[in-house]
Structure 1
């Protein structure tokens, strides 16, 4: 990780400057993409056999935070695109070779949400659908897409059976005008359309098998990294990006307030109320960071010892991860409200961090309702069912 972070820090000024450009382009700039590739950030969870680094997930989280503190969109793309090599590590070796054989820096987009239907045919599936929120997709050559298995008429079968399907860029259309939003604009999280595309069986994974660990055991992977629970690994990059964005907002705020004089003529550094808000926000953001990193360390230690992580532990872990994101963004709200009118100007990055932080909370992985319900019910001896077991 040290080498990756060292490279990132060399490009810090460029990534910060390119954040404004990405906001206008509604995708990462070519410079930002080049710097992410050169740093190795997207290969941190990638198998060494395919040019990856196989880093501890804590290192991946810390690197994502650092990038997001420079530019929220770059951090978000790192956190999402950077986690896909982790799952690809236990996909069929044939698709791993197809993706990384010629270029280990090939990026894979998503989303995993089952927005399409995969109808069984001889040798595989026929895929149709439209997917939203494919972050960083302009810079990716493959995609992981979620799909429900369909019947002969192309309707999802019941009970639902979800797949993660893997397909090359030639098999899907990126909808160019589908991303015009208020926050995380630079992520270029556009829609994808697939029409009657054949997906061979070996390019699919059962979503249930991925989430419960069956897929990695079937693939024969024994590394601690790849035996980590999906419900810890998948949210990790996303929440790390949100916390990094909050850290970036705090750094902007402190820099702006250092010499600021309020309309009362009193230097801000002499205003005890502003000082309190800065101190409180800094403590809350630091607590969010510590909670997320401790969470992944604890899961790593259990996995490394060969102990199965229980549903209750996973539910509490998701609660910790979700709460960390909300705590960090609430802290951003506190400092933004006291940042003065200058923070509203587009020429200053504070407003972009504010917008990006709130956009990050909109991701489904940060919806607290069912997660808090499941963790509390389990601790009380109950057995969550249905949606309350989703993504845990």
Structure 2
């Protein structure tokens, strides 16, 4: 099994210097190169990841040492505070080696961004003793909330807390009851330390993305102070309390735009792995029934070409999206709602489009592709599992996309 030392790029040691000074920040290209260097390592560990239903601890340690979890973390807390495209480029590469690992990295790795939006006191509790602290989440609004002096009492069971066994904190979604009869509930994210919740490690048994470790989290009537909550409306309006101490342009972006891409971008790596597998099968397969080589099949070649071209197209859309968002942020401009609804729709479409592209290849690869040992099967399963996430359903975004064009206010404010 490869170690961190084996992942050196151009002689560069992958151990993170842990220094927030701008002069000590790693080069963005070097970080992405580190992620690409991990592709064969993660591919070799993928069977272990799937069998154990969790990303191996060694992979977490390697990603920590490489600095990947610090990309969206504030510099003042030991992070790199980099352009989001650096984060997504790393995620794509990791997912090419193992989509479960890339998915887990996307979810856990984007949480430093949200923690930076919490009150300063919450940030200090998470990172004050250890800037390498990791946070998992589940935003399903299923918790029971009672308002008490200074905060809330929280109980419930949340599913899909990706990477939870590797994390020391969790962010959980719940609705705060309205203060007045007939009023609207207040959607919030509640931040809890590991001592306040349990993890059901037997709950995650699925057909794809098996290795993400998206276990259930159980909370039994714990106190959460008000400062350890993040209001959904603040994320939508970009009026988060953490912006007072993290005033950089990065943290003025709508939180939803960052998170929703974290659960669609792993699909790029999965699709790339599937395309590589299809090309390899096509290069070597000769039908035992017809005697014809697959590399001469025009329909298969067309399916592979279509997948290759459209993945590149979607990658370019992702890159341009965050270049545009960051341009608005640097100029101190509000991002037009028409753009926010369009970018949300684009993100929601990615996983389903890529799953369809891989479907088209799999059905043309014959019996060779149906074995579980085939390199195309796991990414195919992973892509179809990724479609189930609510953020990856474009039907949830169509009304607001058209409404944005017409200048109407959105119905779903996670934008």
Mapped to 1, the partners of 2:243 and 2:57 lie a distance apart of 39
TM-aligned CA deviation for residue 343 of structure 1: 2.1
In structure 2, what is the equivalent of residue 288 of structure 1? Answer: 314
Q: Residue in 2 aligned with 1:139?
A: 166
Deviates most, 162-171 or 243-252: 243-252
Corresponding residue to 1:6 among 33, 37, 53: 33
Deviations along 1:109-151, one digit per CA (max 9) or x if unpaired, are 0012222122111221111111110001111110011111148
Corresponding position of 1:302: 328
Write out per-residue CA displacement over residues 192-224 of structure 1, whole angstroms, 9 at most, x where no aligned residue.
Answer: 110110111221121211222111575353211
Residues 1:361 and 2:387 aligned together: yes
Corresponding residue number in structure 2 for 1:97: 124
Q: 2:402 matched to 1:370?
A: no
How far, CA to CA, are the matches of 1:59 and 1:342 in structure 2? 36
Matched position secondary structure for 1:349: coil
Partner secondary structure for residue 125 of structure 1: strand
Look up the match of 2:301. Answer: 275
Q: Whole-Å Cα distance in 1 between the matches of residues 182 and 388 of structure 2?
A: 29
Of 74, 88, 102 in structure 1, the residue corresponding to residue 101 of structure 2 is 74
| Equivalent residue number for residue 365 of structure 2 | 339
Give the Cα–Cα distance (whole angstroms) in 2 for the partners of residues 65 and 216 of structure 1. 31
Residue 61 (structure 1) aligns with? 88
**Is the counterpart of residue 348 in structure 1 residue 348 in structure 2?**
no
- Asked if 1:390 corresponds to 2:413, the answer is yes
Residue segments in structure 1 that go unaligned for 5+ positions in a row: none
**Residue 52 of structure 1 corresponds to which residue in structure 2?**
79
Q: Which one of 33, 56, 60 corresponds to residue 29 of structure 1?
A: 56
Quote the residue 2:5 is aligned against: none
**Quick one: distance in 2 between partners of 1:120 and 1:157?**
17
Q: SS in structure 2 opposite 1:143?
A: strand
Shift of residue 260 of structure 1? Answer: 1.7
Q: Distance in 2 between matches of 1:320 and 1:216?
A: 29
2:257 is aligned with 1:214 = no
Shift of 1:323: 2.3
**Mapped partners of 1:337, 1:38: distance in 2:** 40
User: Matches of 1:12 and 1:179 in 2, distance apart?
Assistant: 25
Shift of 1:10: 3.0
Provide the C-alpha distance between the structure 1 equivalents of 2:170 and 2:407, rounded to a whole number of angstroms: 40
Q: Deviations over 1:180-200 (max 9, x none)?
A: 001100001011110110111
Q: 2: distance between equivalents of 1:380 and 1:212?
A: 20
For residue 139 of structure 2, give the secondary structure of its aligned residue in structure 1.
coil
3-state SS of 1:163 partner: strand
> Is 1:188 aligned to residue 213 of structure 2?
yes
Partner of 2:192: 167
* Residue matched to 2:147: 120
Q: CA deviation at 1:333?
A: 1.1
Q: Given that residues 138 and 160 in structure 2 are in contact (C-alpha distance below 8 angstroms), is that contact kept between their aligned partners in structure 1?
A: yes
Which SS does the other structure have where 2:152 is aligned? strand
For the 8 Å contact 2:268–2:311, the answer to whether it is kept is yes
TM-score (norm 1): 0.93
Structure 1 outlier segments of 4+, above 6 Å = none
In structure 2, C-alpha distance between the alignment counterparts of 1:252 and 1:42, rounded to whole Å = 29
- 1:35-56 CA distances to partner (integer Å, 9 max, x unpaired)? 2222221211011121211110
C-alpha contact 1:150 1:157 (8 A) present in aligned 2: no
Q: Which runs of 5+ in 2 are unaligned?
A: 1-27
**How far, CA to CA, are the matches of 2:223 and 2:66 in structure 1?**
35
Q: CA deviation at 1:106?
A: 1.2
